[in-house]
Amino acid sequence: MKYILGIDAGTSNVKAVLFDEQGHEVCVASRESRTIRNPGKEVEQDMDAVWENVKACVKEVAGSGAANKEDVIGIGVTGQGEGCWLIDRDGKPVQNAILWCDGRAVDEVGEITKERPEVGKLYHKTTGTPPLLGNQMILLKWMKENRRETLDRAEKLIFCKDWIRYKMTGEILTEMTDSYTSLVDVHSGRIAADIMKALGVEEYRDYLPDPVRSDEVVGTILDAFADETGLKRGLPVIAGALDTSATAIGLGAIHEKDVCVILGTTCANEIVYKKEDCDFGGEGTRYEKHPMGDLYVELQPTLNGTPNIDWMLEHIAMTKDFHEIDQIVDSAQVGCGGVVYHPYISVAGERAPFYHPYARASFFGISQVTTRAELVRAVYEGISLSIRDCLPNVDKSATIYLAGGGAKSPVWAQMIADVLGMRVMIPSGKELGAKGVALMTGVRLGLYKDYEEAVEKACTFTRVYEPNLMNTEKYDLLYELYKRVRIHNQEIWDYRHQMNKKIKAIGKEEQTV
């Protein structure tokens, strides 16, 4: 039996997972990644701390005895996307990593989208992604305008999984799925020089490595890393992939019109398309590269997924036992008596299926007869309605592959099936991102003939949920209310932001006299 190691450096946790040829998770090691939340909307991580977590996970897996180290044939790495991971000429971080969910670049996005809309449209049409807060290209502009001295001490701008792979192999590079989020001209496949010039950051072109194929073998692990962790020396490492793209492979979404929903920190909603069918620059669209061939993913990744659940558990539910939570949700009626929750809990607002930096979560429709159970259920329904909001053109005859921590709840999985009126399938195993890069490694190293064989052998499903069409009819009505309130609130979110600025300014002048 041969084995592959998949590493997933997510936002909340870092994991190392050993897979066998059938895609089974033979051993899993996990470490929590500490997120640094600075004043305002800044969200960062210590790059060295992330690497130490990776090493600890790999060492735990390698020392578990789950497999003979001679039978491990390769490594794939995935991780959180976008953000700003800067290293100097010695390969050392010049600052903490700025994460994808950071909100500091709001003025830069506002300048591009409102003051220079022609640049915003060019950006969207060229890269397939509209200008958004966490885009690496946008953060490069922010660094130049706000931390020029720090930026100029750097040598390369990479992504999270590139940092991990560099520390394992000594090779500095990136690959298509990460680079295609905002750095690459989707039409030429090259770094988008026109966009860099339009944003005034063209002098940093050499900071951006030219992307390689996601499943290309780009190096072998350093002897020091092998000896420290207990791995076999000389293990090959592939370039890897952005976590949402890797998860598509791990779920078996390798054909056009396959649909994936990943219930995590971000709620990532994906539909696979051929390049020729993509509407790059189209209103409401956002495309990223699928690891395979000429496939792309229309991706609508909300800023606000399971953190809404975390907030609800802390402040409303009075229990953190998910079995009890499922019972509470099940006890309330569909639609919660007209109570709607909009799940925009992030301090950076929302980015999918619309962009608004000041969007905020809220309950609508509460009265004196509203119960705690209805509030709890409304949070789950709100996230589910947000998924529907992100997939307006989905083919209802397709199947949704549902992954992420939230997929463990049978009540929530059934709710999503009902809200969208579609079949939902739950995969076996939990670590779908790590599995995706493991399968990519297996294909590249000849363990599988091709991706079709990899998916056929390694992707299985444990549960299937068919939609209750009576509930779907009810949710059709609730979704109309959800969307109307969401659209109406955009002006109110702007007013709230301006109001807060004025409130903070009151009295400051007196204090400084």
Q: What is the CATH number of domain 307-389+470-504?
A: 3.30.420.40
List the pLDDT tens digit at each of the 513 positions of the chain: 999 999 999 998 999 999 999 999 999 999 999 999 988 789 999 999 999 999 999 999 999 999 999 999 999 999 999 999 999 999 999 999 999 999 999 999 999 999 999 999 999 999 999 999 999 999 999 999 999 999 999 999 999 999 999 999 999 999 999 999 999 999 999 999 999 999 999 999 999 999 999 999 999 999 999 999 999 999 999 999 999 999 999 999 999 999 999 998 889 999 999 999 999 999 989 999 999 999 999 999 998 899 999 999 999 999 999 999 999 999 999 999 999 999 999 988 999 999 999 999 999 999 999 999 999 999 999 999 999 999 998 999 999 999 988 889 999 999 999 999 999 999 999 999 999 999 999 999 999 999 999 999 999 999 999 999 999 999 999 999 999 999 999 999 999 999 999 999 997 765 544
Structure tokens at 131: 């200008």
**Residue 133: its pLDDT value, please?**
92
Q: What DSSP character marks residue 513? A: -
Rounded (5°) CA angle 17-269-196: 90
Q: Where are the alpha helices (DSSP H) in 91-199?
A: 106-110, 117-127, 136-146, 148-152, 160-169, 176-179, 193-199
**Which residues are CB-neighbours of 156 under 8 A, at least 6 positions away?**
86, 87, 172, 207, 208, 209
Handedness of CA 376, 378, 381, 383 (dihedral sign): negative
Query: What's phi and psi for 300, nearest 5 deg?
Result: -120, 90
**Residue 51: its pLDDT value, please?**
98
Q: Parse the chain into domains and list their residue ranges.
A: 307-389+470-504
Rounded to two decimals, what is the model's pTM?
A: 0.89
**Which residues are CB-neighbours of 39 under 8 A, at least 6 positions away?**
none
Structure tokens at 450: 């091709």
**Residue 7: its pLDDT value, please?**
98
**Residue 510: its pLDDT value, please?**
57
**Residue 512: its pLDDT value, please?**
45
